[in-house]
Structures are given as structure tokens and as C-alpha cells.
Structure 1
Amino acid sequence: MVGTAGMMPVRAAAPAQGQQAVLASMPQIDAPIALLLDVGSGRVLYARDVHRRFVPASITKIMTSYVAFDLITKGKLRLDQRIPIRRETFRQWRNVGSTMFLPAEAQPTVAELIEGIVTVSANDACVVLAEGAVGSVPAFTKLMNEAAAELGMRDSHFNTPNGWMDEGQTYVTAADLATLSGALMTRFPELYRRFYGHAEMTWGGITQPNHNPFYGVVEGADGVKTGFTNEAGYGFVGSAERNGRRLVMVLGGYDRPNLRAKQSRDFIEWGFAAWEAQPLFAKGTAVGRAAVQGGAARAVSLVAPRALTVTVPRGAKARYSLSVRYKGPLKAPIAKGETVASLIVRVPGEPVHTQPLVAGADVARGGMFDRLRNGMAGMVGL
């Protein structure tokens, strides 16, 4: 059964030439794979071959940090926890690609390892973290693939925590990477702000720069990850936030890093300049209510977890309709902040945009009296 809060107001239509004009102003993008997404509205501003599988190289480390953040949030890993380095791991990953230059006797903290992974793309740190967190690399990549499945990343698979060449066993798509990056930022905002956005890192007396081409150049830039191998070419998932509006872009398959740097900057600047977000609901707004089964309460409010918007060509007004959907009735217990429903945004000529809604309160599992009361109320249509 699917619950719905019905349709909501419709706005005036944006002229078709408005979108044509904004696309005509787009800068040249030579990457064979390209995607630009407005996270707040879920609208894809530009897409090229976004479901094509490709080798992510170090972009893999976005998922590595996602799993680490999830373990930390669940209390299964601590930021101050020290992790010794196995001799075999030291021998295998010493000075292999980008590293933190971890010495054999080091016992870095989880926080130091995540900083190394995110800021300087440390291959050694990925393996040390994976082994220290859950016992082995296969156990960690199992969590990576489970997270991918939960997020709906249907065309991605992870065989390594650092993206090192593995004969194509690790692969992703631009669409999946945009989904992952958006979830990383919205599900773990405090950890994201703590570890992402750093232009350099110093550890063990060695200072290394972050190779993110946005840092120091693009206003509001705070992520996400570059990647390169001879097999994959030069790729980049980038993000910037301005005035509460966040864009995420994915580019894959460049053969030169300087071209990747220039065109990625032009791409995201076009996204901010040529498009604008029109507000739908402020963060924390109750958008609707959902029926609850077996709970201490019969219904729960559905709340916007962030500012929800609709994105249109700058200066235009969009025609759209809104509805709320959930699989219902929802079953108790329900935790406040848990994603339990979706806001469906329909814009003529566009794919349906789906944005999350969360429970506005905890709903405990009901006792016998609650079940009797709710059953009686249901019988008389209350």
C-alpha cells in the first residue's frame, strides 16, 4: 500500500526557450562522462552517459569515508581509536601510489586515517582503516557494497577500499556517484564538514596538498574527490555550496589533469550562474502526515530534513505539482529523523524528482491499550 498526502499547488510554466537558452550557454565539456546535479531539488542540470560504468580509481574513497562515517555514527568505530599496522599491510602498501607514508610501527587514530584518505588520497590509510575497523579488507568491501545497495547504486561494485587497479572489479557510474555524494553530505553533515574541504594535510612531519582543483578557486568548494589511473584516466567528483544551495558534479575519462581542472570549474560556475533554486519548504517544515500501524500514536508528521527546492533556468518560473508518498501504514517503532517518505516533484517535460522526508517525532511501539484504542478509532473512521 502507498500512502499519499495528495497533490499540492501548481506554479506558472517556464517558457521552453528558457531551458534552451541556458543549455546553449553551457561551457565546453570534453569528458565522455558528465553530470551536474542540484542536490536541494534533485534536478539534473546536465547529463552525458551517466549510467555508463567506469573505473573510479581513487574516487572509490568517497564510499570508504561513507562506510567509516556510518560505523562512527553507530558507535562501532571511534575517532580517537588507534589502529596498529599489520606487517603484511605495511610491506604491501608502502609508497604505493598516494600514501600517508605510514611507518611500520605507527598506530594512527581513525581520525588521522580518514583525514589521510580524504585529503591526500592515502592508499595505505584505506587498507589500515578497513582492517582495523572490521578485521579485513573483504569484510570492509562487503559493507561498501551493502551501503551501495541501500542507496540504490545499482550499477556500482567495490572490490577495494582505495580504488587501486583490480582488473575492473571495482566500477561505478556518474549517477551512482552523485547519489553517494549527496548521501555522504546529508546523512553525516558534521563528519563531512570536519574531514572534507581541506587544501592540505600534515602528518608525520610531511605536508601534502589536496589535488582537488576547486580548492582556493571555486567559492564554496568543499569536496569531494579526484581519481586517476592509466586505466581510468582523470576523474573528479566536485561539490560547492553557496547560500544554502549545493551542486555536485561528476566528470570521468579526461586524459589531461589541466583540462579536467579548467572544465570542472567552468561547469560548476555555469550551474550556479545559469540556474536558480526556488524554495518549496524550509528545513524542518511539516509537509504532511503518515499513518502509523502498531504505534503509541496513529500518525507521524513528515518533515523536510533540509531546505527543499525546485531548480529552474535563472529568471524563469517553473510549473510543478507536488505529492507525498510513503509505503504505509508505517510500522512502529519509528525514530525521529528517519527517512520514511518522499516528496514527489513533477515538472512538465522533466523526469520525476524525488526528495526525502523524515519522521518529525519518535513513535514507540504501542502497548495493548494503544492497539485497542487505535483499532476502535479505525473501526469508526477516526
Structure 2
Amino acid sequence: MSPMKLRPTFRLLPLLLAAAALPARAALPDTAPIIPAIPTAAEAPVALLVDLGSGQVLHARDPDRRFMPASVTKVMTLYLAFELIAAGRLDPKQVFVMSPSVARDWRRKGSTMFLDAGEQVAVDDLLLGIANVSANDGAAVLAEGQAGSVAAWVMAMNSTARGLGMMGSNFGTPNGFPDEGRTFTTASDLVTLARAMITRHPDKFGYYIGRAGFDYKGIAQVNHDPMIGRVAGADGIKTGFTNEAGFSYLGTARRNGQRLVLVLAGVENGRLRAKLARAYAEWGFSAFDRRPLFASGAVVGTARVQNGDARSVALKAAGPVTMNLPRGSAAQLTATIRYEGPLRAPLGAGQEVAVLEITAPGISPARVPLYTAEAVSTAGPLDRIINAIAGVFS
């Protein structure tokens, strides 16, 4: 594969610099609310907060440090299930049975939806139980029912993680129960997983994740997510705790079109985790000016195309393009379109081919995926002649 090439689109930079030159927001009045503080290293040894739309890291502490995720592991089980449903290999209406072996290992073990040996349960209920009351038994029944064995499901979890680029993670169980350290992950990998779940399966994410609780077999249990119902726009995703791992959390909240994802790990207790998660999210929404750069659907640049019926293709983001700057900042912005090029025809419309990187001094960059605005077909004989002539004079 050829090295990544930088393709600045020169008509892009004036637009961004003009946006950066906008007057800074007026000083906040004395009555403005106090911006919450980020967690300290003593409170949360691992912490990561990312704007999911731009990919901009708003704060990070040891994001690539490996830790045991405990029940946050179940997010990978849920994501794998969503992938299988989308592929037609799993149906929420399917019914699985708790086998004697699964019952022996997982009946009433830790968080549970109170399944019994020989009990039939629909996949839909299993997913709700896993997502909202952290059902260890439900995760094991789902794993064996779909893959034939828990071990085969775990292999699929790890294969899926590698496919997402989660190179700092490994899974030894479908539910995160202590397994002598075979299950581990990183904050960066969990954000990658959250992004994949939310962007690839928004409907399933909205339906299964973030309910206040789950009532099954007449047993009502509450979701212990620390942000749902307490932070505006919060909608999950998963808490985790074991004595070995401590308290961890992967969560997300969306306001005014902006979605933040946060990770906390190594927190001492559940009460502190709840306090930190809420403050961390509020800090992310309040400590920055969100600078709009391009409206949804706007062409942000072009990329060269080889052997196509056009010599270039317009590029768009999936939605509006924004940059988070510290509140009151007037920092100058610079943008570069990065792609391996020239691109080779044919190209389909909506194909991800490039990244828009937006930088400012002292601030983590935003990296926004860019997609082709239209299809480009392979060049015919006449197109090749025209392109060759144009190339001489370009």
C-alpha cells in the first residue's frame, strides 16, 4: 500500500481561517454556571472524552493503558449480536435454551436475569437483559445459542474486535466475569467500539441500550448507569465492576447534534464513578466553544482520481463539520485533507476515501471522515485521451 499522502485543498483553508477569525465569545457574566472539573488522576487513573462526530479528543489520561473492563465486556457481546442481526444470522425472535452446562457455570452468578436450566428465552429479551441489568447468564445463553458454544462466541468477539482495530483488547468471556486477566481492553478501544455501535447500528442502539431498567419474569431490576436520567441527553452505555478491576464506565450523551463518549476506569467506588461521569460529561459540553465550519452536505474539498471518467471527485462529511476550542479561544485553524492517492476508479457515491484533519495550536486535532459526493466510473477510451491531455497541461 502506498504511503498516506497529504492533499491540502487550498480553497478549504480560507474558509476555515475565516471561521477561526470570528470574534471570540463575550466574557461570561458572573452569574454563569461554574464549569465542572475533569477527574483527577487519583480519582480515575484512566479517563477519555471524545467528540464522536469530529473524532476530537477533548481530554485523555492513559487512553492506551490496558485494564480489565468487567461487565463493560458485554458491549462487545451486544455489538457482535447487532452485527449478526444485520447479517441475517441472528433474529431477535429466535428462542434459545439455557443448557445444563451454561446453567452449571452461570445460573445466578453475579448480575442475572434469573434464568434456569432448560428455560427458553427470546434473543430480544436476552439483549435487553444484557444491556440494562448486565445479565451474565443472558450473555452466556446468547453466546452458546448462536455460536454453538461460549468458546466459539468468544472467538467471534475477538475476531470482531480485530476487525474494528481494537488491537489493545482481548476477551475471554462473553460477560467480563473475572478470568485471571485474559479479558482486557483500553479506553481508546472502547471509544472505537462505541463509535461502531452507534454509527453502524443506531436503531438497535436506541432500542436496546440505555433503558431505566428491565422487568423479566415479574422481577424488576434497575439500570445502574450513572448518567441516564441525570445528565441531559445521556443514553447509556455500560458500567463495570469486579474486585479485581474496580469500577469502570463507558457512556455517551448527545446534545444539540453533538455526541460525546466517555470512558472511566480504575475508580475506587460506585458513588465516585457516578459523580465523575456526570461531571466529565458536563465539562465536555460546557468547557468548549463548538465552532461550526461546514454545514451538513457541504463540499469540503476534492481528491484526485486515476483512470476515472472524471479527474477529481468532490468530498463531503457525513454531517456538519465542527471544531471544539477552549471557551473564548481565538486560535487559528488549519485543515488538511488526507488520503492515499490518487484514488482509483471506479468509486461509488458515499464511499469513505479521506479524512479531514483540523488542527489548532495546543489542541487535539479533529479528524472527520470524508466521503465521495458522487460516483466516478472507470474511464473509457475517449476519457483516457482527454485525461492524458489535461495531465500534460495541469
What is the TM-score when the length of structure 1 is the normalising length?
0.87
Which of 365, 385, 394 is the equivalent residue of 1:376?
385
Alignment pair present for 1:82 and 2:91? no
Q: How far is 1:58 from its partner?
A: 0.5
Single out whichever of 323-332 and 47-56 deviates more from structure 2. 323-332
Instruction: Specify the alignment match of 2:107 in structure 1.
Output: 94
Alignment pair present for 1:166 and 2:169? no
Query: Which whole-Å CA distance do the structure 1 matches of 2:307 and 2:152 have between them?
Result: 36
Deviation string for 1:301-349 (max 9, x for gaps)? 4321133210012233332111222223444565544432211112122
Single out whichever of 162-171 and 334-343 deviates more from structure 2. 334-343
Deviation string for 1:204-252 (max 9, x for gaps)? 2221111101122111110111000010001111211111111111111
Alignment pair present for 1:213 and 2:226? yes
- Aligned pair count reads 373
Single out whichever of 326-335 and 213-222 deviates more from structure 2. 326-335
Single out whichever of 224-233 and 83-92 deviates more from structure 2. 83-92
CA contact (8 A) 2:36 2:280 kept: no
Deviation string for 1:238-270 (max 9, x for gaps)? 211111111111111122111111122122112
CA contact (8 A) 2:36 2:279 kept: no
CA contact (8 A) 2:112 2:138 kept: yes
For the structure 1 residues 326 and 215, does the alpha-carbon distance in structure 2 shift closer, same or farther, using more than 3 Å as the test? same
Which of 31, 37, 44 is the equivalent residue of 1:26?
37
Query: Which whole-Å CA distance do the structure 2 matches of 1:288 and 1:74 have between them?
Result: 34
Which of 62, 82, 90 is the equivalent residue of 1:69?
82
CA contact (8 A) 1:13 1:318 kept: no
Letter in 1 for 2:37: M
Query: Which whole-Å CA distance do the structure 1 matches of 2:207 and 2:372 have between them?
Result: 26
2:75 is paired with a residue of what secondary structure? helix
2:96 is paired with a residue of what secondary structure? coil
**Structure 1, gaps ≥5 residues long:** none
CA contact (8 A) 2:304 2:311 kept: yes
2:276 is paired with a residue of what secondary structure? helix
Alignment pair present for 1:258 and 2:249? no
Alignment pair present for 1:356 and 2:365? no
Letter in 1 for 2:9: G
For the structure 1 residues 162 and 363, does the alpha-carbon distance in structure 2 shift closer, same or farther, using more than 3 Å as the test? farther
Deviation string for 1:339-368 (max 9, x for gaps)? 32211112122344322123344567x5xx
Query: Which whole-Å CA distance do the structure 1 matches of 2:121 and 2:308 have between them?
Result: 45
CA contact (8 A) 2:58 2:364 kept: no
Query: Which whole-Å CA distance do the structure 1 matches of 2:60 and 2:9 have between them?
Result: 31
Instruction: Specify the alignment match of 2:7 in structure 1.
Output: 4
Which of 202, 205, 219 is the equivalent residue of 1:192?
205
Deviation string for 1:67-113 (max 9, x for gaps)? 22222223332232333333312222111111222233333333222
CA contact (8 A) 2:333 2:359 kept: yes
Letter in 1 for 2:388: M
Letter in 1 for 2:186: T
Query: Which whole-Å CA distance do the structure 1 matches of 2:337 and 2:66 have between them?
Result: 32
Q: How far is 1:152 from its partner?
A: 2.7
Structure 2 counterparts to residues 132-151 of structure 1, below 5 A:
132-151=145-164
1:65 is paired with a residue of what secondary structure? helix
Q: How far is 1:55 from its partner?
A: 0.3
CA contact (8 A) 1:245 1:277 kept: no
Query: Which whole-Å CA distance do the structure 1 matches of 2:383 and 2:92 have between them?
Result: 44
Query: Which whole-Å CA distance do the structure 2 matches of 1:24 and 1:212 have between them?
Result: 23
Instruction: Specify the alignment match of 2:328 in structure 1.
Output: 315
Q: How far is 1:373 from its partner?
A: 4.2
Query: Which whole-Å CA distance do the structure 2 matches of 1:47 and 1:131 have between them?
Result: 37
CA contact (8 A) 1:282 1:304 kept: no
Deviation string for 1:113-140 (max 9, x for gaps)? 2111111111122222223333333333
Larger Rg: 2
For the structure 1 residues 208 and 287, does the alpha-carbon distance in structure 2 shift closer, same or farther, using more than 3 Å as the test? same
Q: How far is 1:56 from its partner?
A: 0.3
Query: Which whole-Å CA distance do the structure 2 matches of 1:105 and 1:296 have between them?
Result: 62
Query: Which whole-Å CA distance do the structure 2 matches of 1:309 and 1:169 have between them?
Result: 39
For the structure 1 residues 333 and 228, does the alpha-carbon distance in structure 2 shift closer, same or farther, using more than 3 Å as the test? farther
2:102 is paired with a residue of what secondary structure? helix
**Structure 2, gaps ≥5 residues long:** 28-33
What is the TM-score when the length of structure 2 is the normalising length?
0.85
Query: Which whole-Å CA distance do the structure 2 matches of 1:74 and 1:335 have between them?
Result: 21
For the structure 1 residues 175 and 194, does the alpha-carbon distance in structure 2 shift closer, same or farther, using more than 3 Å as the test? same
Q: Aligned Cα RMSD in Å?
A: 2.8
Once the two structures are aligned, what percentage of the paired residues are identical? Answer: 46
Alignment pair present for 1:305 and 2:305? no
CA contact (8 A) 1:5 1:289 kept: no
For the structure 1 residues 183 and 280, does the alpha-carbon distance in structure 2 shift closer, same or farther, using more than 3 Å as the test? farther
Query: Which whole-Å CA distance do the structure 2 matches of 1:140 and 1:295 have between them?
Result: 43
Query: Which whole-Å CA distance do the structure 2 matches of 1:73 and 1:111 have between them?
Result: 14
2:97 is paired with a residue of what secondary structure? coil
